[in-house]
Amino acid sequence: MLGGHHNRGHGGSHGGRSNEQGEGQPISGTPCAGCRTINAGGARFCRQCGGSLVPASCGQCNAVMAAGAKFCSQCGSERG
């Protein structure tokens, strides 16, 4: 009976849910559209792949474009 805590699930690397931000911290922040890594709120670039976390804007009308969009949903211009 050494330790007395064997298989009781008191944290550490034995059971429980972990995430890339560390044990015990909630998963929150900005997910990267490219690799889905969770980044700190307010981050401009992904800490894993370096992709931009700032929404792109249309070069024609300056509307915010969804990640991966080929055309602007406001004016129909092709993303350049």
Most distant CA pair in the chain: distance in Å? Answer: 71
Cβ atoms 48, 69 nearer than 8 A: no
| pLDDT value, residue 78 | 92
Residues 6+ apart with CB under 8 A from 2: none
The answer, as to whether pTM is greater than 0.85, is no
Q: What is the pLDDT of residues 11-51, one digit of tens each?
A: 444 444 344 445 555 567 889 988 999 999 999 999 999 99
